[in-house]
Amino acid sequence: MIARSVVHSPRVLFLDEPTTGLDPSARVALWELVHGMRSQGMCIVLTTHYMDEAERLSDDLLVMARGRSVAQGSPRQVLGHLVGEHVLVIPADEPELPRIRAWLERETGDKPASVLGQLSAAVAAPLLGRFTAEFPAATFSVRPPNLDDLFLLLSVEPEPEGVQ
């Protein structure tokens, strides 16, 4: 289908979820094809639910949440603006996990994301310093933010009034 779409050398190509259902090697091959067409000057408008794909293939990223545009720019600009400098990751088996969760909620004003019991929270360097002072024996890692963090941040629904 992509070959048919580009045989006439269009200036703009629209791809709607082009890697859905592809195995990993076919997915990477399609990424290479898209990258090659971009480097030859073709404008590609691509929709995807795969955050790693959006991060790898985007020059300009438009993030939508609940039907509205919430950010636009390069993936790094969008992440820096909406997520922050660092992501603190606390494993599910950390003994201090409940206390860490409460501390992060209090310090950041947001609930940390939880995936399979593992917590992740966007933090700036000063907060990271305070965290290590508060929890010197805790097991944790720090990594740069990615678009999955952004998606989790944007997909959290506020709790209804009066629900705890």
Residue 104 lies in a domain: yes
What CATH number should be reported for the domain holding residue 144? Answer: 3.30.70
Summarize pLDDT for 98-142 with one digit per residue, the tens.
999 999 999 988 889 898 999 999 898 899 999 999 999 999 999
Could you tell me which of 150, 157, 158, 156 has the C-alpha nearest to residue 63? 150
Least trusted range by pLDDT, from 29-38, 66-75, 114-123, 151-160: 151-160
User: Token pair of 95, please?
Assistant: 């003994």
Residue 101 lies in a domain: yes
Please tell me whether residues 89 and 142 are part of one structural domain: yes
Instruction: Note whether 142 and 103 are within 8 A (CB).
Output: no
Note the pTM of the prediction, 2 decimals. 0.67
What per-residue confidence (pLDDT) applies to 97?
A: 96
Looking at 39, 57, 75, which one is the last position of a domain? 57
SS3 assignment, position 105: helix
The larger pLDDT score, comparing residue 80 to residue 126, is at 126
Alpha-carbon torsion, ordered 37, 40, 45, 47, to 10 deg = 30
Could you tell me which of 67, 94, 54, 59 has the C-alpha nearest to residue 121? 94
Please tell me whether residues 39 and 101 are part of one structural domain: no
Give residue 146's region: left, alpha or beta (phi > 0; psi -120 to 50).
beta
Give the list of residues 6+ apart from residue 55 with CB closer than 8 angstroms, or none: 61, 75, 146, 147
What per-residue confidence (pLDDT) applies to 7?
A: 82
Please tell me whether residues 52 and 112 are part of one structural domain: no
In the chain, the number of structural domains is: 2
User: Token pair of 41, please?
Assistant: 């000057």
Confidence at 82, pLDDT banded by 50, 70, 90: confident
Confidence at 156, pLDDT banded by 50, 70, 90: low
pLDDT above 50 (res 77): yes
Give the list of residues 6+ apart from residue 17 with CB closer than 8 angstroms, or none: 47, 48, 49
Please tell me whether residues 91 and 144 are part of one structural domain: yes
Which domain does 130 fall in, by range?
83-155
Please tell me whether residues 89 and 50 are part of one structural domain: no
Summarize pLDDT for 20-34 with one digit per residue, the tens.
999 999 999 999 999
Please tell me whether residues 92 and 147 are part of one structural domain: yes
